[in-house]
Amino acid sequence: MSVPAGIDPRLLRAFVAVAEELHFTRAAARLYVAQQALSRDIRRLERELGAELFVRTTRQVTPTADGERLLPHARRVLAAQDDLLAAFAAGRSRPLLVDLNSPGLATGRRVLHRARELAPDCELMARYESGLTGAAAELLAGRLDVSFGRFAGLDPALRSGLQQQPVRYEPMAVVLPEDHPLAARAEVPLSELVGETVYAGAGNPRTLEWTDLANRLFEGRGIRLAAPLPLAVGDEEFERIMAKTRHPVLAVVDFPAMPHTVRRPLVGPVPLSPVSLVWRKGLVHPGLEALRRAAAELAAGEGWLRRPAGGWIPSVDAAVMQP
């Protein structure tokens, strides 16, 4: 028997069916194909192997010695293929792990909830990794599947293994102690923060993309970035540290409320936080398709990708955020 470069598994499946049924008509019915097509596949396999696999008479079909020798190998190949397909199907049905950065942020949560409506049979499970930089390493390692955040703020080495879909230009805000002089304002012009020290996650290795965005926003405006603080884990610790330092906190307009603080949108210009849906290259999962549909639907319906007149965004983000 000669050794071909490769064999189409369909031909092996045809061979096994005939070898087990010992009848072309029954084998064709078992495979839901025409008998003529089955006969063609067997002849093609015999040509590729350079061996006769069956002795055919008007009364019966009998495997030759080469056919008997091929049968156990063909069964193992087909079993391996079936295992592969089953494993792939299981991968598509496993839960999709979706990082929302932190509890209370609205953009990712709304996309996730809409995706669950679009794909009710998929299990989409929320995770909270604090920032996209921290999540990106988990995405590449396969411990997370999807996250949200500022894609242009990632290191190029991380971006090279990821894909993204623009979701929103999210207006930014500042969180102030409730007795801060600017707390009475309905909105806070950036010029009013001149001389202030504002906290923007400095020192947190999981939110480097956010701290970089703050640096770009504050540059040349006379606003100082607060020095690194001990990493606060959990809302209670974060609130305690903020109450202790009394620094304004750079945030987004949907940032969840904290006790004894007020949240005010920033203006003059309106600074924008670019948010993308981010996933690992090569990821195939029906839940990802549902998330992408949900993000596109919400972006269109809510105008999330319309930049307000005079809205500020770093130049490095402009190309990334093209729909």
Asked whether residue 2 is assigned to any structural domain, the reply reads: no
267 to each of 191, 193, 255, 272, how far by Cα in Å? 9, 11, 16, 10
Domain count of the fold of the chain: 2
The whole-number pLDDT of residue 130 equals 82
Per-residue confidence (pLDDT) for residue 260, from 0 to 100: 85
3-state DSSP assignment of residue 97: strand
Residue ranges of the chain with per-residue pLDDT less than 70: 1-5, 85-93, 230-235, 323
Backbone angles phi, psi at 175, to 5 degrees: -100, 125
Same domain, 175 and 219: yes
* Apex 312 CA angle, 307 and 313, nearest 5: 85
Give yes or no for a contact between 23 and 89, defined as CB atoms under 8 angstroms apart.
no
Nearest residue to 315 via CA among 278, 265, 274? 274
Mapping DSSP to helix (H, G, I), strand (E, B) and coil, where does residue 272 land?
Answer: strand
Instruction: Say whether both 101 and 72 belong to one domain.
Output: no
Give 267's DSSP letter: E
Statement to judge: residues 234 and 143 lie in one domain: yes
Please report whether residue 4 resides in a domain.
Answer: no
Here the CATH number for the domain that contains residue 34 is 1.10.10.10
The four Cα atoms 39, 40, 43, 49 give a dihedral, to 10 degrees, of -120
Say if residue 171 is in the same domain as residue 36: no
Query: Kind of pairing, strands 224-225 and 261-267?
Result: unpaired
Tell me: do 119 and 31 sit in the same domain.
Answer: no
The CATH number of residue 240's host domain is: 3.40.190.290
Asked if residue 319 lies in contact with residue 281, where contact means CB atoms within 8 angstroms, the answer is: no
Place of tokens 């990708």: 305
Tell me which of 55, 78, 93 is where a domain ends: 93
Query: Which domain does 218 fall in, by range?
Result: 96-318
Cβ atoms 14, 38 nearer than 8 A: yes
| H or E element at residue 218 | helix 208-218
Please count the other Cβ atoms lying within 10 Å of the Cβ belonging to residue 167. 28
CB contact set of 111 (below 8 Å; sequence gap of 6+):
148, 167, 277, 291, 294, 295, 298
Listed residues 42, 73, 93: the one ending a domain: 93
Both 131 and 156 in a single domain?
A: yes
Q: Is residue 89 in a domain?
A: yes
CB atoms within 10 A of CB 258: 19
Q: Is residue 80 domain-resident?
A: yes
Of residues 174, 150, 176, 180, the one with CA closest to residue 162: 150
Taking the C-alpha atoms of residue 305 and residue 318, their distance in angstroms, rounded to an integer, is 12
Residues 100 and 40 in one domain: no
In this structure, the answer to whether residues 106 and 75 fall within a common structural domain is no
Q: Is 3 inside any structural domain?
A: no
Q: Are residues 273 and 262 in the same domain?
A: yes
Question: Considering the entire predicted model, what is its pTM?
Answer: 0.71
Largest CA distance in the chain: 100
Instruction: Give SS3 for 212.
Output: helix
Please check whether residues 247 and 299 belong to one and the same domain. yes
The last residue of one of the domains, among 93, 123, 148, is 93
Omega cis (within 30) before 269? yes
Identify the pLDDT of residue 308: 85
Q: Are residues 181 and 83 part of one domain?
A: no
User: Is residue 27 in some structural domain?
Assistant: yes
Q: Is residue 203 part of a domain?
A: yes
